[in-house]
Each structure stands twice: as structure tokens, then as C-alpha cells.
Amino acid sequence: MSGKARVVLLAAAAITLAAAIAAYSLLSYKTSAQALPKSFTVSGHTFEFSTYAVTVQQQEQGLMNQTITNGTFMLFVFPLSSIYPFWMYNTYNALDIMWLNGTKDNAMVVYVAANAPSCLSTAAYCENHIYTPNAVANYVIETKAGFVQEYAVVIGTHIRFNRQ
């Protein structure tokens, strides 16, 4: 085996090992209920999460076909910071959507879609009503519309995740 082939083989093995470690870490994080925060604090007020979206299937479902109340707080947890567009297909109420970037304990709001109207039309129609942040995020919180205004949530607002 030539020196160049050996280097390529070693690089491929290192990348495979790194990907396996990352996947294991992500799987462990996603499947551990203890890893998910129970609530979040913003502007001096604490709110309990009512539901979570950590798997792709849960993230695709979101709050579709659900009645949204003032106590509805859904946390989306993504494996990496990236651009995650959201749509409002089959949501019954307008929502506030907050994209956050941060750690397991603290995050900062990087983008907000306030009062995003529901879309009860066809999927094709709703695809034209997608909310795409202009900053990377690894968390998203969806709430009933009006939350961001009531609690003065803007880009740069800090969010604390609470484990207990």
C-alpha cells in the first residue's frame, strides 16, 4: 500500500470514528429524558415545556393538528446549529416561533417569527408560507402567538434552560 493510500485510509477511518462518536453522543442526548430541560426562563418568568421535538418525525409533526393554549411550549432540539425553516401547515392557531442558539443550559434568541398565521390550506399552498431564519440555531421554541410581545422577546434575548 502506498503512503498516499495509507493516509487516505487513515483519514477515512478517523472521519468514520468521529461520525460514530458524534452519532452516539447525539443519540444518548436525544434519548435521555434527563438531558431535556423541564422549563425555560425568559425576562424573569419561567415556563414549563409541554412537549418536545427531538426526532425527525416529531420535528416534522410539530404542533400540527393540536389546539394551542397559553400553556403550550414546544421545544425543538436539533443535533447541530443550522438554518431550520418552519411552516405552519395544519396548525390551528397563530404561533410565535423563536430560534435559539446555545448550550444545554443557556441560549440566545437569534431569530423570531412573531404571530405566524396558521395555514389550513393544501400542503402545496402552505409551502409558500415558510419561515426561514437568517441565523443558525440548534433550538426552536414554539408558543401561542402574543408570547414574544408580552415578554419582550427580541433577537439577543437570553433564555435559560432549567433541568428541574
Cell of 147: 408570547
Residue 42 above 90 pLDDT? yes
What does the pLDDT average to over 34-39? 86
pLDDT digits (tens, 9 = 90+) for 95-123: 999 999 999 899 999 999 999 988 887 77
> Is 142's pLDDT higher than 70?
yes
Residues forming beta bridges with residue 45, ordered by sequence position: 42
Higher pLDDT: 20 or 46? It is 46
**CA separation for the pair 113, 103 (Å, rounded):** 22
Phi-psi label, residue 31: left if phi above 0, alpha if psi -120 to 50, beta otherwise: alpha
Q: DSSP string spanning the chain?
A: --HHHHHHHHHHHHHHHHHHHHHHHHHHHHH-GGGS-SEEEETTEEEE--EEE-SHHHHHHTTTT----TT-EEEEEEEEEE---EE-BT-SS-EEEEEEEE-SSEEEEEEEEEEEPPB-S-HHHHTTSEE--SS-EEEEEEEETTHHHHTT--TT-EEEEE--
pLDDT, one tens digit per residue, over 47-92 is 999 999 999 999 998 988 888 899 999 999 999 999 999 988 888 8
Give the rounded distance of the alpha carbon of 139 from its chain centre: 3
Task: Using the predicted structure, report yes or no on whether residue 145 has a pLDDT greater than 50.
Answer: yes
pLDDT at 77: 96
Average pLDDT, the chain: 83
Task: Yes or no: say if 98 and 148 are a contact pair by the CB < 8 Å rule.
Answer: yes
Check residue 97 and give its pLDDT.
Answer: 96
Task: Decide which of 103 and 13 is more confident.
Answer: 103
User: Cell for 129?
Assistant: 408560507
Find out whether 47 and 70 touch, Cβ atoms under 8 Å. Answer: no
**For position 10, what pLDDT does the model report?**
39
